[in-house]
Chains A and B, each alone.
Chain A
Amino acid sequence: MSEFFDRSEFVQYFRDETDDLLQSIDADLLRLEHFVDTGAIDAELVNSLFRALHTVKGSAGMLEFTAVQQVAHKLENVFDLLRKDRMPLTEQCVNLLFEGRDVLTALVRAAVDGGEEPGGVEEYVERLDAFAGVYDSTAQAIEGPRSESDEEETLAPVDEEEVSAFEAEVARMLAEAQAQRREREAEAAAPVDADAAQAAVDAVFSNGSPAAAQPAPAPAAPAKAAVPETKRAVAAKNQTIRVDIDRLDLLLNLVGELVINRTRISDIATTLSRELGSNGRASDDLSALAKDLAESSALLARTTNEIQESIMKVRMVPIGQVFDRFPRMVRDLAKARGKEIRLEIAGADTDLDKTIVDEVGEPLMHLVRNCVDHGIEPPDVREARGKPRHGTIELNAYHEGNQVIIEISDDGGGIDVARVREKAIRIGAITEADRLTDREIVELIFTPGFSTADQITDVSGRGVGMDVVKKNILRLKGVFDVDSVPGEGTRFTMKLPLTLAIIQALLVRVAQELYSIPLDAVIESQRIDASEVRTVHGGEVITLRGQVVPLVRVGEFFRLGAPRDPDKVMIVIVGLQGRQVGLVVDSFQGEQEIVIKPLSDVIGRIAGISGATILGNGSISLIIDVHSLVAAAHGSGKVTRAEFSGV
């Protein structure tokens, strides 16, 4: 068999397919849980779980992932008992199934990545066997011993039935993989009139006989019409394809090149027209050609922009990919903490850039855990406070202008200002004498090492949470806020850019080099008199509407050796989290949309630089990292040193 399939391709396919299945198993189990001890059961739900596990088992068997195959088989067996009504759906049963799903996930990961098999699998299988065995044997006692082939299925993979099922599985995966490939090739090779072909196919199937088909409207139609129904179903299912994100990035790079060359062509067209116009001896033909060139280059410009936008759109994925894992997590955590919690999700179909979706998962998880652990009170406490026993956590995402807003809120006890203050004093973040508003005190939860949990739990409360969350969101160029009303609940709000790759930037010149400053950090730009610059404690500052704003001379920070202008100072005021800094530059060069590219890791991290971009004329502009410049101006000596050494 090995000669007819490329194993690595199948392992990849297996991983993608199984990931989806495990995700759906999780969601289905959560729904199944509602039927516990009701005596009723949604047969379709159990069937869908059974089928999902059957597919996992089959694919795993094909790739000889025997551990995965074995566990999937045992779980499948439980669902078989459930759907045949031989086993009641109890809480213990659901818990075992949830656990089984996790064991399966770990096994799949180990199998695909070639890692070590996770511990505890055997112990779990024993428990599952012990649990299911009772019902299994009852069933056997009633119906007599199971047939030979049933036994064989568990023990010996050489059974003929198993082999044929196995071959069917191979055929199915091959067909799907090939259908995908064919579709890609078909799309690339021949644009078929899909409507016409579909009409022909419909005609064939509604008449039940290919002979009754109407004369083909398109040459490709007869071939299409001959496709058996199974393949047609596969084609319909594969309306989406999986694409490696690296390939998209490559495409984006290539488009970047295209944009640069397009700019060059339009420059040439302009120069040509001007030259022809000025020497006045150009023939009509030549002038017409120059005009054509100008028109074509304009058209090219439009198309390139559209391609660029389309690729950016392809990179957008729904935030639901991240939200999906929370129902299960909240369920498990709530159980562990003895709380009753309902999770409500809205806006799961809100799209944002793949990179951001990947990065935002971890912070969101921290926040949801935080709501479960610190937010929602235990049922008895809630009841005493006149609230429903079950708490509610809401996850909500929506677009607002050029941003995506994600809110996580709970109807718990809110942040206890007095306790936060007390704790902050204890860890030395503030002193007894500090007079802070409630809002400022709430903000203290972002202090590194801060946690008000009375005891350390495995959920949260290790004091590594909120400051890391905030840092990660800032890194994504997002904004993070917390709102809390004592007794009513807490709401965390993050505002994230739709995409990280393209931003608006203010271009400035510093010592002959062009630098880009992300516009979202820019408050204003000003030209002021050199005499307005004062020094405080050796550092330069200006007073802006009554506020003292420290200055950073970009040329000196970057050691570009540029002389200072004795008369005037060009300042870009940037702000982050309410802290402002004036960046001194040589001149302003206007705003532009830029595509961010990382600096090579051969160069390493450079303090004050977050990346680079290629401008329309092909030259490079480095992007100023406002964070580190603001930190350098405001931070203590210690922070500044850390920033400087780039660690």
Chain B
Amino acid sequence: MVVGVSVQQPVASDHQLARLLQIGVVLEEVVEARAAKHADMADLDDTVRAFLREAAAESATHRERLDELVDALEADTIPFDDIKTLVEKQYEADQDFDGVLYDQLCNEETAYKFYDDLIDAIESSEVTLSIDRERLLSVLREIRADEETGVEDVTELMEKRE
């Protein structure tokens, strides 16, 4: 029967870690592409536009930091242009002004949750990874902290607009 699922939670190998980091790269690329697209919307006030541009730039920085880790694990990274094309293809242009901020809140919350789970999965893993575990965790914790600040910032911006 082919219905199996693993109940194992910790990161089990270099390969799985690389795959999870690749997913992180894609998530950042999705955030970057969507935030940049929203920042170009015509009827946006300057504060929101600046916020979205900053969020897109931050995602690009996160992506580069993850890319370095993926490289260190000798895996391939995922070109931003590929993901940007997919975002464009699937994008539904039904975002209004508040929808844009809500989308950004989802981006930041999702990224926070992803890094939080990933850090847990690495901390609870007992396998030997070919990458320095402390360096890996320190990068991921820094990115997670950025996402946490991001959630607070977008929430504040949304509250001001109410």
**A and B associate:** no
